[in-house]
Amino acid sequence: MVTQAEKGSKFQELHARAGAFILANAWDAGSARLLEHCGFEAIATTSAGFAFSIGEADRIPGRDSVLANAADIVRATSLPVSADLKNAFGTEERAVFETITLAGAAGLAGASLEDVSYDPGAPLLPLERARELVRAAVEAARAHPFPFLVTARAENYLVGRADLADVIQRLQAYQEAGADVLYAPGLTREDDIRTVVRSVDRPVNVVMGLSGAAFSLAELSRMGVKRVSVGSALARRAYGALLDAAQEMREEGTFTFGKDAAPFAVLERIFAR
């Protein structure tokens, strides 16, 4: 049995060693087991992938269900798991502190925190408010008796505010607040990625699997990126295969999709305890 402290230490080590590593995103216990079988060293959850798996749109599931899903994933694998916790389900320090406390209790080795407000007119939190929420998350993380990494996200590009200077200002503020990892999803240009990496002194996460960027792990490593995640891309790929198969059955009345399905015996062997 791998202890939570050992998982936390392993997660820290991955961010400290040379080169970039892939933080593969699982959406349930089964996908986590498959990713561990494939040889990945750590796993992240995906809030969108989880939402889709329970028939909901992203942002609908609340804190209790998101953390329960994360705990299921933790129990399913011996790998460190970092949770996508959206904006930590609150815009006040007390709520964020509580969420990160509960995340540690769920067995997680880390969590990410977005700086979104969910206000269509002003989708990003004011910088000072966002910095204080990161500070609260870090305070809660440091109270755990095991290593727990806080990833602070600048969501500019995902909410239609593609301002690299503001992204950098936000990431530097979150670094000052104590964040362990920095992340600006939506960066697609090499020059922008390199600029972000040069502008901070913490490990930088970049997301692949979105439209508009197609760098390899080796290329991202040369840019100075430390961690590469894929967000909901694996879940969307799985659901895309289901939709294609369903369309074939419904519209063509054929079943050729079965030739691309994972063999039953292979999945049985992977999932056997």
Q: What percent of the chain has pLDDT over 90?
A: 96
- pLDDT for res 181: 99
Model confidence at 190, pLDDT cuts 50, 70, 90, reads very high
Q: What letters, b where the CB count within 10 A reaches 16 and e where it falls short, cover 120-152? A: eeebbbeeeebbbbbbbbbbbbeebebbbbbbb
Does a structural domain hold residue 238? no
Does a structural domain hold residue 112? yes
Does a structural domain hold residue 61? yes
Angle in degrees, CA 109, 193, 234, rounded to 5 = 50
- pLDDT for res 214: 87
Give me the domain span that covers residue 147: 4-231
- Can you list the alpha helix ranges (DSSP code H) found in 61-163? 63-76, 93-105, 127-143
Determine contact, residues 89/98, Cβ cutoff 8 Å.
Answer: no
Does a structural domain hold residue 186? yes
The CATH number for 208's domain is: 3.20.20.60
Q: How far apart are CA 195 and CA 96, in angstroms?
A: 29
Model confidence at 210, pLDDT cuts 50, 70, 90, reads confident
Region 229-258: mean pLDDT is: 98
Closest of 144, 76, 148, 146 to residue 112, by C-alpha: 148
Does a structural domain hold residue 259? no
Does a structural domain hold residue 236? no
Q: In this model, does residue 86 exceed pLDDT 90? A: yes
Does a structural domain hold residue 268? no
What are 167-188's pLDDT values in tens digits?
999 999 999 999 999 999 999 9
Q: What is the pTM of this model?
A: 0.97
- pLDDT for res 213: 76
Q: In this model, does residue 80 exceed pLDDT 80? A: yes
Region 59-79: mean pLDDT is: 97
| Dihedral of the alpha carbons of 70, 57, 140, 150, in degrees to the nearest 10 | 80
Give the mean pLDDT of the chain.
Answer: 97
Region 11-24: mean pLDDT is: 98
Does a structural domain hold residue 142? yes
Q: What percent of the chain has pLDDT over 70?
A: 100
Q: In this model, does residue 211 exceed pLDDT 80? A: no
- pLDDT for res 233: 97
Q: In this model, does residue 21 exceed pLDDT 90? A: yes
The two structure tokens encoding residue 8: 């936390």
Number of domains in the chain: 1
Region 30-35: mean pLDDT is: 98
Q: In this model, does residue 117 exceed pLDDT 80? A: yes
